[in-house]
Amino acid sequence: MKHVTDEEMIGQVYGEGENTAAVARHLADCRECAENFAELQRDLAALNRAETPARDARYGERVWASIAPLLPVYRMEKRRWWSNGLVKGLGYAAACALLVSCAFYAGRVWEQKQLQQQPVAQVQPKVPQIKQPIVVVVLDDHLDRSERFLVELKHADLDSAAMDSPMRDEARSLLASNRVCRRNAAEARDPELTTALDHLDRLLAEAANEPDGLNAQTIARLQDEMNADGVLFEVRVLRSRIARHEGPGNNPAKGGTI
């Protein structure tokens, strides 16, 4: 004879079984299952008598008092003067200036050697000065950091001031390197790059030189200016333009140009 399972007995107690009538007939005919069913009812009835104790208004205070001594104490580390964003920005600016100067000097030397190797009869008239080469790897790094800063500014939480100081430090760092890139873009006579860096420079200058910090009102104003000038869109367009030059024949690690 097939006996009733525990699941079927539980369903019978709560009236949720699929075939309660058949289970009831089996319990009436089978003494063993009837005893097990009666024992299950007693166990469930005992469980129903347990009640959750009521919590008074000081329950949370007592819980916190019991776990507070076990929690580690958080201590804010003192920031060093050499780890701030200004020194980091000056380092980026110096690296940009050095790389651009080396690339310009190498281009001038190569041009002079080419002119010396040509026969006198084949010397062509002097053409206007071509655009000064801009090192792609340096410009791409600057635009990548600028894009991440603009995205962070766009999605900044106006109700929280936790990110105000890091954002202002990053703006100061980006402003220093952006000034170097703007100067090189002006010498290279690249209107699209110059316009985008000018828009970015105004935004970074306001974020870096805000005397009262980047509060909610300042962040909202910077977001409006960023959207009005389309700075984030311009930066992404320039990055896509650089990516097209990073093919097999133009390796940015060797100082490619745009």
Question: Has this prediction a pTM greater than 0.85?
Answer: no
What is the reported pLDDT for 86? Answer: 59
Phi, psi of 207 (to 5 degrees): -70, -35
SS3 of residue 205 by DSSP: helix
Higher pLDDT, 89 or 141: 141
- Ranges 67-71, 79-83, 96-100, 254-258: which has the least confidence: 254-258
The fraction of the chain above a pLDDT of 70, given in percent, is: 74
Instruction: Tell me the two tokens of residue 102.
Output: 């080396």
Kindly state the average pLDDT of the residues 64-70. Answer: 88
Per-residue confidence at 129, pLDDT binned at 50, 70, 90? Answer: very low
SS3 of residue 72 by DSSP: coil
Higher pLDDT, 34 or 88: 34
Kindly state the average pLDDT of the residues 245-249. Answer: 57
Q: Which helix (H) or strand (E) holds 67?
A: helix 59-67
Report how far apart, in Å, the C-alpha atoms of 19 and of each of 8, 10, 12 are: 9, 12, 9
The fraction of the chain above a pLDDT of 90, given in percent, is: 0
Cβ atoms of 96 and 138 within 8 Å: the answer is yes
How many Cβ atoms sit within 10 Å of the Cβ of residue 94?
13
